Amino acid sequence: MGRAPCCDKANVKKGPWSPEEDAKLKAYIEANGTGGNWIALPQKIGLKRCGKSCRLRWLNYLRPNIKHGGFSEEEDNIICSLFISIGSRWSIIAAQLPGRTDNDIKNYWNTRLKKKLLGKQRKEQQARRAASCLTLKQEMKRENENYMIPGMVSQAPYWPQLPAVMPLTSTNQDPQLKDKESIRNLLVKLGGRFSDDYPQSSTSTNPMNLRYPLDVSFAQDQLYENSMNMISSPSSISPINSTCTSEVINITHFNVNEAAAGPNNMFQGLDGFPAELSELIYSLEGFYGTDNMVDGSSTGTSSVESSSWGDINSLGYPQIVSGFEACQQSMPQVSTFDESSYFGPQ
């Protein structure tokens, strides 16, 4: 029954690795491999380290072809795009950046990229606020001058509080809905499709019937495999139509809403998106230009028409996009969503 404990916690060294320890671990793995058992590894080498610690050290530092620091603009864009698409799935994001580790990307995001984006956004907000305030002040000053009673003490005008973030589309909306809408719009802009953007088409020439921003990012083989593993896990994401003709369609064509409800979902739940994400969405809108953002909810125009694949090239991963342009062209052109045609007879 079961197995022996992985390591004697009391007899295990913690903290930074010494060059000697690094050398031992590296030499052994390069000569013998991991042997498929990290827990047994330190004992074999004579290291007083936990197997997990060895694994981490190897993967994040000693492994060949590891790059540290010096993230390029292109890498920044990929990280941002993927973070918006799939959230903090650092291992998946790392799979798209050769030589980068999930830990590195996570650190880079938390310490620099996030601040970079938020800083950019705040600057723009301040500029917008300043512009709005100036206009408002001028108008109120004019009105005050018109209605000023002689001898009355002039008071500081009351400025209505401006929204913390500029509303994207409609006002008077549930903030959560607005967040979702923003995320949705951004995802659409990034080239993705929601389950309600298209009717089901089993005759599509697109071999994989790729639809989502995830699909866009996942087009590259490695990431695709990762996604297939995750998506095909019944505990993570449930296909919305189990009678679909293609199994590939089944597993790629999952229901975003259902997916969002589960704890291990691909999107980590739109409801559960980190609060900062909505702020970042606005940052990215500024990054890519709000005018270019697609309002997929109410324009009445086809999402296919309104979402330009050319836009994605600006994200810095044309190699991902190129494989999808063909898929995109084979997508059915639909302007409105008909649930019955999409889900089939209930």
Binding site for DNA (CB under 7 A): 1-6, 13-17, 36-39, 50-53, 55-57, 60-61, 68-69, 88-92, 102-104, 106-108, 110-112, 115, 233, 235-236, 263-264
Residue 49 or 253 having the CB closest to DNA: 49
Residue 204 or 252 having the CB closest to DNA: 252
Closest distance to DNA from the beta carbon of 80 (Å): 15
Closest distance to DNA from the beta carbon of 344 (Å): 29
Closest distance to DNA from the beta carbon of 117 (Å): 13
Q: CA separation (Å) from 329 to 76, 128, 159, 247? A: 28, 38, 50, 22
Closest distance to DNA from the beta carbon of 287 (Å): 19
Hunting for tokens 């969503």 — which residue is that?
337
Closest distance to DNA from the beta carbon of 16 (Å): 4
Q: CA-to-CA distance for 288 and 213, rounded, in angstroms? A: 16
Q: CA-to-CA distance for 280 and 121, rounded, in angstroms? A: 8
Tokens of 319: 């190699």
Residue 55 or 128 having the CB closest to DNA: 55
Residue 8 or 145 having the CB closest to DNA: 8
* Residue from 329, 42, 65 nearest 206 by CA: 329
Q: CA-to-CA distance for 10 and 301, rounded, in angstroms? A: 64
- Angle between helices 73-86 and 275-288 in degrees, nearest 10: 130
Closest distance to DNA from the beta carbon of 58 (Å): 10
Residue 53 or 195 having the CB closest to DNA: 53
Contact 223, 96 (CB under 8 A): yes
Q: CA separation (Å) from 27 to 22, 35, 48, 52, 334? A: 8, 14, 16, 18, 58
Residue 111 or 205 having the CB closest to DNA: 111
Tokens of 7: 């390591």
Dihedral sign computed on CA atoms, order 254, 182, 285, 298: positive
Closest distance to DNA from the beta carbon of 237 (Å): 11
Q: CA-to-CA distance for 76 and 120, rounded, in angstroms? A: 14
Rg of the chain on CA atoms, in Å = 26
Tokens of 128: 């917008």
Q: CA-to-CA distance for 93 and 266, rounded, in angstroms? A: 13
Closest distance to DNA from the beta carbon of 56 (Å): 6
Residues 6+ apart with CB under 8 A from 195: 211, 240, 253, 254, 255, 256, 257, 342
Residue 150 or 234 having the CB closest to DNA: 234
The one-letter amino acid code at 150 reads P
Residue 13 or 128 having the CB closest to DNA: 13
